[in-house]
Every structure is written in C-alpha cells, then in structure tokens.
Structure 1
C-alpha cells in the first residue's frame, strides 16, 4: 500500500479567483465557503473570488482564505474516500492539516486563523519588522550570521522558514534583517530577496501575537488527531491534543522546519505527497528536498481523480 501525505500551503499561495471553480461545480465545497462566511461574519468568499488583491493579501484575510480553499478541496478527497497516512501544513497550513486529521472543526480553525492573522498584523508596527529569503547559504552559516547580528547590534534577526536546501527565510527587525542580509552575502549567499510581508513572522517579535492566540485557542476544542500531524516547530509527528495546542502557540514565533518536515515524512516511508489547495509552492519545495519524490498539487475534482488513479495503480 502506498503511504500518502497531504500537505497544506501557507501564505504566498493565495491568488484572486481561488475557489471559483469549486463554488460553481462542487456542492460539498460550496458548503465550506458558506461556513467560512457565516463563522467570520463577512464574505470571505467575495474577497477570494473577486479580490482586490491587496485586500486578499492582508494577513487577516489570506490566512482564512487559504484554509478555506484547502478544506474545500479536502472535502472532494473525502467524497472519493481518499485518506492520508500523514498530514503537514506550512505555517498557517498546519491548521488545514489539523482539520484534515480531525483535531479541529473547520469552523474553529477558520475563526482561529482569522484571529491569528489579526494578532500577527498587530504585534509589530508596520515597517518595523521585515523578512527576507536567503538563497544558496547553509543553515548553520546563516544561523551564525543571525546570531552575530543579534549579539553585535540591538537589532533582531532569526531563521524563520527553513524551506529546503539553499532556501531559508530570515525574520526580525527591519534593520536587523537588512544587516543580516548584507552579512549573508559576504558569507556566500547567492541572493537575498526582501519579502513583501506586513511583519516579522516566525520570529520572537511575534510573542505578543502568540500570547493573544493562546487566549483564543483556550475557548476552542482541540481533540487527538486521527492521523499523525508533522508539527512545524519540531518536525515531529504528533496526535495528542495538548501537544497540538502547545505547538500552535509555539509555531507563531518559532521557525517553520519545512525541510525537516519533508525528511520526517520520507523517513516514514511516504510514497506520494499531495499538495491540497491553492498553488504549487510546496510541490516545488518537496522536489528540492528529494528530487525524485512523487508530488502532485490538487485544487479541483480532476486533481482528486488523478490521485485516485495513481493510488489504484499502486494498489491494483
């Protein structure tokens, strides 16, 4: 039997028009969009389908939008009775993974990520924090660079997203990230690309957001997961509800260990990686970790049926 991992995208995978086809064709998916609008008290669907892009790009909308899209596609997998052996999500995608694993209801998750987005926006005044992608530098070297910046200046620079070999995002104060970017180039980085984000996500500057999120999660139900969830902050498989809750708080201000997450899944014998939702960012990252990995990105019924065929080919 093939082992399947469902992967769920995070911020950066959104696009105006996402979900339009599902709304038009899939009743089971349409119910997810309706549930999101009802839970949030405004038409997230309208923003997803018609934009404008700058509204969709606001963290408070992006996060619930991507969760909604992923869950709407997930419903199609359920209809075809395709279940994952493992789940993982990149940053906010961890909430989609928890919905897939039955640890949270969609309504609770969409409420949580909307608040998570707001808290992350509020944690650091606009312009005071920054993030940048550093290409072509070893993790250990970049870690040393960030630590030296934090030691030698009063600025902060930290590893935020360890996406794949040679692609790491740093996060911190605007000045700290700028200095770390210059030092990274001196240390041999091929490129340093400032990211268009509204804050220093996955850095210790997000601690106030994590504290507020803890208050929100306290009132929501989290149950044991039915399948192992690979946690962002540890890259370990978890199913225990209290551990899941703890991880959701920590991941706001901790690095996303995505490369490690994929390696954990490969070590577990996963044969097929399925990116569920909008875009194909994660498929690209998986291939950079393991070039020969079997990866497919799915955003509609045709994609679900393709996965079904692939699995029948393996088991038949």
Structure 2
C-alpha cells in the first residue's frame, strides 16, 4: 500500500528565476545545478542555472537545451529540500522525461548520469532525420481521440499521452497533425499545439530509440531503492532491467499517466506532491481522481518560492519523517536494493498564517471602550466600478481562485504569468469572468490583453473599458 506519491513533471515544468530563493551557494541544491551545468557544457549547451536563479522572467531568452534540463534541475532541487526535511515519498511517478528525474531520486542513476541520458535523448532525436513533427493536445477522452486519428488515416499519428478524462496528446508529422486539428475544429474539440519540437512517444522515433540505447549502454543503472511506478511501462519498476527497459523505450512508449494515477489511488495513495514548477500534474490529479485524493504543487511560480520552505515544513510535520537525509549527488546504492517507506497517516497540508501577537498591556490597567467613529464615505467612481481598493481585491481574488492559493500571495505588482505561473488559458478565463462580473464590453482588437501583467494593470484596463462603454 502507498499513501504519499511524489510526482515529477516533464519538459516546460520550470519557471525562469524561480529557484533564486531556494538555492544558497554551497547547498545541495546549488550542487545539483552545478552538476547539470557541467554536463550541459560537455554537449555545447548553455548553462541552465542562470535561467533558474534569475533575475529572469517569461521574456528571457532560453537555450533549446533548457527545455530538457530546466525541468530536471528544478525537480531535483525541490527533491533535495523534501529529503532534507524528511518528507516521506512512498512511491515516485514521473511524466514523460520526468521519469528520469524519478529514477535519480530512487537511486537508479546519479544526477550526472541522468543529465547525460537527457542530453543523449535529445541528440538522438535531433539526428534522426525525421521530417518536421510535433505534438498536439486535445480536450477529449482517449477513445474519441483514437477515433479521430483513425479518421485521419495517417500512420505517423499516435496517441502519445493519456493525461486525464479530457486531455490527450497526439504526436506525428506536421501534415497529419494539420488534418487532425482541422477535423477536431469541425467537431468543436479544442486543440493546442505543444512547444515540443518532435513527435515524442511515437514509434516513428524507433531509429532514434535504438541510437539512444547504444549511446547510453555504458551508463550504470541500479535497481530503484524506492518504489517507482512507470506510466510508460504501465507497472512498477522494481529491477535494474526494468530501468533499462524504460530507457530503451522512452522515445517510443506512450505515457499512460491517467492509468498510473488510478492504479496508485486504488493502492491507497491519497496525497500527491508535485516536485516541479507550475501545477500541471496537480491539475491532472484533480481531474482524474475522486475528492479524497489531495494534490500539492510545491512551486507554481516565482512568487510562491518564498512559501516553499513553509509548505515543506508543513508536509514534514503532518506526515512524519520518512526519508533519511542525504544527497542525490553522492549516495550510491546497491543494484538489488528495493525499500518502501512505511506510510504515515495522511492529512491534506494546510498553510496557516502566523498568529497575530497581542500588544502588551500593563497589569491591572483598565481598557477604555473604543470610541465609535463613523468612517467617512469613500468617493464612488463615476465609471460604475467599485473603488480602487475593492476593484483590485476582486481582481486579486479571481486570479487566486484560478490558481487555488491564498489571495495574499497575489500582490498589486505581482507578475501574473512570470511569477505566479498562470497559463494563458487561465488568464483568458479570468479576464472573461471579470468582464461578465462588471458587465463590461469586450475590448477591440487593438487592445492586447496579455500586456496587462499585474493586478494593478488589469484593474486599470477594466476602468478604461468601463469609461468607454
């Protein structure tokens, strides 16, 4: 039985500048970044640490290799913090390239070895000679997406990722994906082209998979010392041979993440902790599993980084010490060891604000009754919207509710996307909600909504629309 699951997301699960508050020089997290940078340099890639430590935001230029090493380094830095705090992880589960991160935490490979696997994985795809290809997410169940692929009748299409009841990813060559998107549009099925530069988890990468297997054959792989569930293998990964099988198929095997979540839930998992930036896997838990399953996103964006230590402290206090402190960089494991941590009773973690300390009063002093003072009425804006403080509070609460964390985290000048990690779709949904709330007209095409990046700026836009109606 498993109670607590650590989840490791794949590409794009990093946020520029988000680790600056979590990695001090000389810490194990800083050593992880140094190790990843050293491997990146061997392959002629730019270092990843300047991007993750900042100062940087969503507009900062990123090297192509950051897509493959940014999520990896972020997950391992967060894992070091969890391990150091003694937060238990009864089972580890990775998503796509995140399975490599899970293998490091489980003791199958060192940070250095796994970073080389990711670099070789990317090289193998880049050198495959495959025509232009990509990946497309569709908001439909897997059985319906499979029928759409059959209707397109192109052998390069493959259902690559089954994320949830209404989120499936298809990969293939661009002409086939274009036809798939057109068919989906005709059926009013929403699609989204992912920023992944090839058709990963597709048999058309078979040649690249064989090349990768040859290139990483010399890298030692141990049996996991923690329980690992592989969505690509569709079962528990218990031996070194299992780990080798996963690496050999990592480019072609589909990711059955929805099935993995269900299997872990049926086995008793109730708390799922996302060891990465943003909250992609957290949302999948909420979409795929019943209400008793609780999901915690450690790092949704730069603004939440300051709360990560408190969140981890709460997890440790609620669930006891399950992991012995150590470093992912130095611990080497036996090839046959397989240890499962003893599960602790699970309660969803709650972040509590510190209690307000009362002011000291002299002993025996009498406290006069407060005088009744009628506040002066606030001036009512002529545009029909609330006064500025109330308007900003309503905007703040709308974004906080969309991200599912306390409104006090969203300050007037907080970057909604760069610091909070809110997606473009979430921003659009909140904006439409605010327009409906205040009965405002849609802005004309000259207004670029994405340029309004803070609560204060969005409140200003709402006032402009109110004045123009």
TM-score, normalised with respect to structure 1: 0.89
Q: Which residue of 1 aligns with 2:148?
A: 145
The 1:232/1:252 distance shift into structure 2, 3 A limit, reads: farther
Q: How does 1:267-278 map to 2 (within 5 A)?
A: 267-278=266-277
Normalized per residue, the structure richer in helix is: 1
User: Is 2:294 aligned against 1:294?
Assistant: yes
Query: Residue 222 of structure 1 contacts residue 241 of structure 1 at CA under 8 Å; is this kept in 2?
Result: yes
Q: Which residue of 2 aligns with 1:9?
A: 9
CA distance in structure 2 between the aligned counterparts of 1:48 and 1:122, rounded to whole angstroms:
28
Query: Residue 87 of structure 1 contacts residue 97 of structure 1 at CA under 8 Å; is this kept in 2?
Result: yes
Helix, strand or coil at the partner of 1:215: helix
Query: Residue 11 of structure 2 contacts residue 67 of structure 2 at CA under 8 Å; is this kept in 1?
Result: yes
With 78-87 and 38-47 compared, the bigger mean Cα shift is at: 38-47
Helix, strand or coil at the partner of 2:23: helix
Q: Which residue of 1 aligns with 2:216?
A: 217
Q: How does 1:166-315 map to 2 (within 5 A)?
A: 166-186=166-186, 188=187, 190-292=189-291, 293-299=293-299, 300-312=308-320, 314=345
The 1:25/1:294 distance shift into structure 2, 3 A limit, reads: farther
Structure 1 residue 146: Cα displacement: 1.4
User: Is 2:166 aligned against 1:163?
Assistant: no
CA shift digits 1:157-210 (9 cap, x unpaired): 110111111110111010111212233445x45312222321112112222321
The 1:25/1:301 distance shift into structure 2, 3 A limit, reads: farther
Query: Residue 9 of structure 2 contacts residue 281 of structure 2 at CA under 8 Å; is this kept in 1?
Result: yes
Q: Which residue of 1 aligns with 2:357?
A: none
CA distance in structure 1 between the aligned counterparts of 2:144 and 2:211, rounded to whole angstroms:
33
Q: Indicate which of 55, 62, 75 corresponds to 2:62.
A: 55
Query: Residue 61 of structure 1 contacts residue 114 of structure 1 at CA under 8 Å; is this kept in 2?
Result: no
Q: Which residue of 1 aligns with 2:104?
A: 99
Q: How does 1:68-83 map to 2 (within 5 A)?
A: 68-83=73-88
CA distance in structure 2 between the aligned counterparts of 1:45 and 1:55, rounded to whole angstroms:
11
Unaligned runs of 5+ in 2: 300-307, 321-343, 348-469
Query: Residue 124 of structure 1 contacts residue 205 of structure 1 at CA under 8 Å; is this kept in 2?
Result: no
CA shift digits 1:35-58 (9 cap, x unpaired): 2222333522123334674424x2
Helix, strand or coil at the partner of 1:256: coil
Query: Residue 121 of structure 1 contacts residue 198 of structure 1 at CA under 8 Å; is this kept in 2?
Result: no
Larger radius of gyration: 2
The 1:18/1:207 distance shift into structure 2, 3 A limit, reads: farther
Query: Residue 223 of structure 1 contacts residue 241 of structure 1 at CA under 8 Å; is this kept in 2?
Result: yes
Structure 1 residue 64: Cα displacement: 1.7
User: Is 2:123 aligned against 1:118?
Assistant: yes
The 1:138/1:37 distance shift into structure 2, 3 A limit, reads: closer
User: Is 2:137 aligned against 1:133?
Assistant: yes
CA distance in structure 2 between the aligned counterparts of 1:79 and 1:14, rounded to whole angstroms:
21
The 1:249/1:147 distance shift into structure 2, 3 A limit, reads: farther
Unaligned runs of 5+ in 1: none
The 1:217/1:303 distance shift into structure 2, 3 A limit, reads: farther
CA distance in structure 1 between the aligned counterparts of 2:121 and 2:95, rounded to whole angstroms:
15
CA shift digits 1:60-85 (9 cap, x unpaired): 32222211111111111221222311
CA distance in structure 1 between the aligned counterparts of 2:114 and 2:263, rounded to whole angstroms:
25
The 1:246/1:30 distance shift into structure 2, 3 A limit, reads: same
Structure 1 residue 223: Cα displacement: 0.6
CA distance in structure 2 between the aligned counterparts of 1:233 and 1:89, rounded to whole angstroms:
9
Structure 1 residue 91: Cα displacement: 0.6
CA distance in structure 2 between the aligned counterparts of 1:9 and 1:2, rounded to whole angstroms:
20
The 1:124/1:307 distance shift into structure 2, 3 A limit, reads: farther
Structure 1 residue 124: Cα displacement: 5.0
CA distance in structure 1 between the aligned counterparts of 2:111 and 2:127, rounded to whole angstroms:
24
